[in-house]
Chains A and B, each alone.
Chain A
Amino acid sequence: MGITAFNSSAFPRVTPWECFTVEWFSVLAEDKRLLTGLRNSLFIGLGVVCLSVPLGLAGALMLTQVKERVRPWYYTIVISPILVPGVVLGISTLLFWDRVGVMFGASRDSFFYNGFFLTIIGQSTFIAAYTMLVFISRLQRFETVQEEAALDLGATHWQTFKKILLPFLAPAIASASVLAFLASFENYNTTVFTAISTSTITTVLASKVRYGIDPSISALAVVIVVLTLIGAAVHEILKRREIARSKLAAEVAAGNRLSIGKQTPWYFDPALIMIFLIVVAGVGTTFMAGTMGVEECKVAVKTEKQRATQERIKALRERNQAKRDVEAAQQAQEAEQKREEKEGRTGTENFNSIFNTDNLAPAEDAPETTGEPENDPSRTGTENFNSIFSTDNLAPKDDSEQENGEQDKKDEEAPRTGTENFNNIFDTDNLAPKSD
């Protein structure tokens, strides 16, 4: 998939290979909706880290303290959010906090109805269970006697917690934070319910993926992959240094060496410098190769395609010419039928048909228009992300019993629901016809 980011073809694909380009990265950088989603996701991710790490920590510490008899029950309850489908978590969070909001008489724009708040709460419900598992495995190696030692030496409970337990848990806190952030960043099942009108990176991506996409998504994937690879490599190196250090310490203790001596600070580690250089060189080369000569290549491909299209059109025209003379009337009728068929099909099929490659095919066959995706008329209609909630996309399936009779009515509704956002489901008008 990563490779498709560098293909100038408008649809993310490896073959046919057209031109090597980095232009999709700049498309990515200018995608406002994606960037908003990214910003929101980062914010939510931070919130989830701040909430789920303390919760997981408390959950893990509590596990060691609850009575033997209660422990299995306690464990089952706190671990259950991992197993419960994310959809269920999202829904229950949404409903519950709405209820709480009503109880406090909070208004619709108070935080109880805020997508950020709900998403952070909803995601933390199960992410806290992940972080708890991290803490439990670290705590298994903790000697509780150290806490006793600190208390015995006169420390208060808070000092013991701060000076003994927290430093010991620091690595676990770090990895739990990373885990929590990543889990939050990539979550879709829960977020899609709790985010309400807030868009996150996953919801934006999901709507993009449904309504046809260009390789800027692949470009995003490349960015994420590169970042994670670097992160993983750095993590690996730091870990190796740690292992080496503890080995050295054991040698010193055994008296085989006199002392450890000064260690080079981490930013002088040759392996890290190597990685940094490779990344810089790789990005640089890719960028150079991706910008130079792209236009010439694209023009060449374009002319080649245009020629092919022209030929096809010519052939088609010739064929049509021959036919037209004979069956002019019939032809018109047929065309009419075709159109109706098409409408009928979109009416009865469910919304998955948007994934149907047929829908995307025109874009593939017409490079002239898709060269600049912003101008693509087929996409502007769906530009507003919220319109995926528009009833006319999906409704037919819902009301399949009374399909045709309602068709007109729906057409009336469609423009409105198409532009309004998700909150309009609170609107009583919307609900009335459905409940019967």
Chain B
Amino acid sequence: MLNYWANYFTRNGIGVGMFLLAAVLLWMVFMIILPQLYMVDFSLRANVPPPKWGGEEHVYTLEHYKYLLYGSSKSAEQFNTIDLSVFGRTILAAVFVTIIDLCLCYPVAYYLAHVARGGWARLMIMSLIIPFWINEILRAFSFKVLFGTSGLINNALMAVGLIDQPYDFVRENVALYSGLSYAYILLMIFPIYNAIESLDKNQIEAARDMGSPWWRIHWRIVLPHAKPGICSGSTMVFMLSAGALAAPQVLGGPSSLWFTQIIYKAFNNSANWARGSAYALVLLLACIIFVLLMMRIFKVKLGEIAR
């Protein structure tokens, strides 16, 4: 170990070596690890006003987790159906969004990687990226404009004559799902694109040469090759849409609440930071467990994803 550090400083010099070490420590320890750990600690404590934090009344308790389960920190008679159902719905909706994105992005990524050429491909990539330089809220809002009762889609549908009454896409969550799907589409396209691009075109041609139909080529050659990309894309889309706040706030129908919105309320309206932390932690853990479970089912290693 001593030898390692001696080598490290010989290689980088004292100044640069110290800078690297200090920056990485600041980032890893003070920005990533400690805040998360502190949040865990905080979520396990009673909800007392800030001046008493760290004081005697700030005792360890599981009340916030109980609250999520039973809707009350004391009785365990009935489950907290409101919060739990929101939680379940959030996870399910995130899965749904991930699947939509996967279905949309695989063909696009394949097209970009193997069919489109030169300038045209660049142009397509650019036009995919540019909307993402525009504010998240505005992006979500444009979906509201599109899907609103007097929005473009309703007008178009009415003009064509498919419907005679404006359809309330917002209330039916169509707007929310499309907004979320769109919000994270790039995170799905690029990993898949990178994976497919590294596939040797000759493999596809060889398969075609042997008389394989197009769907079998994809099933047996392209898909297995793109698997790491698909996994990392799906992981990111799932985690981020489950943790999204902006799109549900702007696009959420009156009947649907996103779990992050409950967390947000716990902080801003109920002023119960501890409960908010506990909920946030549950969300984080649930996402991680879900992802690990999926990786287990689809037999992917963590190393393949983190690329």
Binding site for B on A (CB under 8 A): 1, 4, 11-15, 54-55, 57-59, 61-62, 65, 67, 72, 75-89, 91-93, 95-99, 102, 121, 124-125, 128, 156-158, 160-161, 182, 185-189, 192-193, 201-202, 205-206, 209-210, 213, 217-218, 220-221, 224-225, 228-229, 232, 236, 349-350, 352-353, 355-357, 364, 388-389, 391, 393-395, 397-398, 400, 422, 425-428, 430-431, 434-435
CA gap between A188 and B89 in the complex, in Å: 22
Question: Does B60 reach chain A (CB closer than 8 Å)?
Answer: no
| Min CB gap A307→B, angstroms | 21
- Of all chain A residues, the one with the shortest Cβ separation from B40 is A92
Binding stretch for chain A, among B96-104, B217-225, B269-277: B269-277
| Min CB gap B154→A, angstroms | 9
- Of all chain B residues, the one with the shortest Cβ separation from A218 is B145
Say yes or no: A1-B142 contact (C-beta < 8 A), given A58-B19, A95-B35.
yes
Chain B interface bracket (under 10, 10 to 19, 20 to 34, 35 or more): 35 or more
| Min CB gap B209→A, angstroms | 34
Q: Is the CB of A431 within 8 A of B271?
A: yes
Q: Is the CB of B302 within 8 A of A189?
A: no
Question: Does B210 reach chain A (CB closer than 8 Å)?
Answer: no
Q: Is the CB of B271 within 8 A of A189?
A: no
- Of all chain B residues, the one with the shortest Cβ separation from A352 is B254
Question: Does B239 reach chain A (CB closer than 8 Å)?
Answer: yes
Residues of chain B within 8 A of A393, CB atoms compared: 269
Binding site for A on B (CB under 8 A): 4, 8, 11-17, 19-21, 23-24, 26-28, 31-36, 38-39, 42, 47-51, 53-54, 82, 122, 126, 129-130, 133-138, 140-142, 144-146, 148-152, 155, 168, 170, 235-236, 239-240, 242-246, 249-257, 260, 263-265, 267-273, 276-277, 280-281, 283-284, 287, 302-303, 306
- Of all chain B residues, the one with the shortest Cβ separation from A391 is B269
Q: Is the CB of B145 within 8 A of A121?
A: no
Contact of A95 among B38, B138, B155 (CB under 8 A): B38
CA gap between A110 and B82 in the complex, in Å: 39
Say yes or no: A189-B24 contact (C-beta < 8 A), given A96-B38, A202-B136, A220-B138.
no
Q: Is the CB of B142 within 8 A of A221?
A: yes
- Of all chain A residues, the one with the shortest Cβ separation from B134 is A224
Q: How many contacts between A and B, using CB within 8 angstroms?
A: 272
- Of all chain A residues, the one with the shortest Cβ separation from B8 is A65
Residues of chain B within 8 A of A397, CB atoms compared: 265
CA gap between A88 and B306 in the complex, in Å: 20
Q: Is the CB of A157 within 8 A of B13?
A: yes
